[in-house]
Amino acid sequence: MSANGVYYRWLLPILFVFAAVPIHAQVVSLESALDEAQANYPEIKAKQALVKSAEDEKKAVANAYIPTLSMQHQYTYATSNNVEGSFYPNGVTISPSGGVRTENINDPAFGVFTSAMVEWNVYGFGKLNAQNNAAKAGIITQEAELDNSIFQHKVKTADAYLMLLIAEKLTEIQEKNVQRAASFYEAVSAGVSSGLRSGVDSSLASAEYAKAKILYLESERNENARKYQLMELLGRNAEEEMINIDSMEFFSKLPMAFKSEEYTINQHPVLTLQQAKMSQAHQQGVSANREFYPDITLVGAAWARGSGVSNSDNSYHTDFASGTEYQVQNYLLGVAIKWVPTNFFASRNRQQKYEHIVEQQTETYNQQQLGLKRQLRESEMQYKVMVEQAETAPIQLHAAQKAYKQAAARYKNGLTDLPTMLQSVVALNRAEADYAIAYSNVWRSYLMIAASKGDLSDFIEML
């Protein structure tokens, strides 16, 4: 036996012993992976925060029913000169209070003013109710957004899980192929050493072994990449310990077919979200229209005022104590109606804006519904094709295994050449991979049917 033959004979068992040592990584089933993805993925947490934000907005709108209490207290140091006439209080005008005099008195005096006012909008012709309904619709929209994000993310996670399964299976297949290539190389090398085989056979066997190792390393690289992708979808850091997944006999059984007549896509999370958006836009339009309506407000107020200018003889007292003593007190009770008729035009335009948004959202809903129906039929068609392929794959595998055994026996007996033998090795390796891929594709197409219908419960029950 050649030195290389001895090397490969002892090296491979050592490698497989190390490969069999457990790495103590956590084994994660598909169902637990879906739960973990929902609990930890940042995008879902972000959508949960938006739901809470919408709930807070609803509370803020509800607070409009509560009477408002305004209180203020001030000290001033100012002159007190005034003339007859009116002024327009445009928001930046200082109150022109003071005595009417023929000349200015520039000596300032202290003053004090304290007030408290309660305003309660007791009736707004449905304005507050419309705002409250719009806020409720906002919560429903955010909840639908969250549900859709969870559903879509679960579909991605399940597909990534299946892709990792097939990657692991292909790595296992390529590992077996390396074992076959190593054993074959050892046998060929022994034949070359004894003079029963030509030297070219040893070179060809060595090349085939090297090719098998390359395929194995590539499969291992792809498997690790799939693990990192799944870890990301689970909300795990790539620096954490890699996970192991549970095969759950994905490659030994096929899922049962769906019965299309038992399902409807009208409750699909995508369509539910779109319906919520339509309802929210409608409620916002109603609220915009109600902004034109008047408000009826109950008002109650009390205030007290003091000044360094005497209210009895108009004399000036510039000390702080004289200016900060209250001289008069007042109170007010009343009902006020406030209406700005010219708001009709802006209110109407905003309502029309939301009507157009509802129209746009409706057409988007129709488009999504068409797409989901097409996706469902396409997924069902692909599922049927994948099942047929999966049912054919065992026949291909059995034939390849038989051809490999026959070719190996013929080669050992000198009845065929090495290229023919290597061709059967390649065919067997391809058949093993095709078998695993065929079964995986059935499960992936089954997942796509569930994704098209908006319900993963049947898919999960089949596990």
Digit-coded pLDDT (tens) for 200-213: 777 788 888 899 99
pLDDT of 386 > 90? The answer is yes
pLDDT of 8 > 60? The answer is no
**In the predicted model, what is the mean pLDDT of the chain?**
87
Distance of alpha carbon 86 from alpha carbon 462, whole angstroms = 83
User: In the Cβ-directed half-sphere of 289, how many Cα atoms lie within 13 Å?
Assistant: 15
Chain-centre distance of CA 230, in angstroms?
15
Amino acid at 94: I
Whether residue 308 contacts residue 319, with contact meaning beta carbons closer than 8 Å, is answered with yes
pTM comes to 0.83
Determine the topology of domain 3-40+124-294+341-461 in CATH.
Answer: Outer membrane efflux proteins (OEP) (1.20.1600)
Distance of alpha carbon 355 from alpha carbon 362, whole angstroms = 11
Confidence of residue 92 (pLDDT cuts 50, 70, 90): confident
Confidence of residue 198 (pLDDT cuts 50, 70, 90): low
User: In the Cβ-directed half-sphere of 414, how many Cα atoms lie within 13 Å?
Assistant: 6
Q: What is the mean pLDDT of residues 226-250?
A: 87
**pLDDT value of residue 25:** 56
Question: Bigger pLDDT: 395 or 94?
Answer: 395
**pLDDT value of residue 200:** 74
Give helix then strand counts, H and E, for the chain. Answer: 10, 8
62-66, 146-150, 363-367, range with the lowest pLDDT:
62-66
Distances (CA, A) of 363 to 141, 192, 286, 353, 453: 18, 75, 20, 16, 20
Confidence of residue 199 (pLDDT cuts 50, 70, 90): low
pLDDT tens digits, one per residue of 242-284: 888 887 678 888 887 665 555 578 889 999 999 999 999 999 9
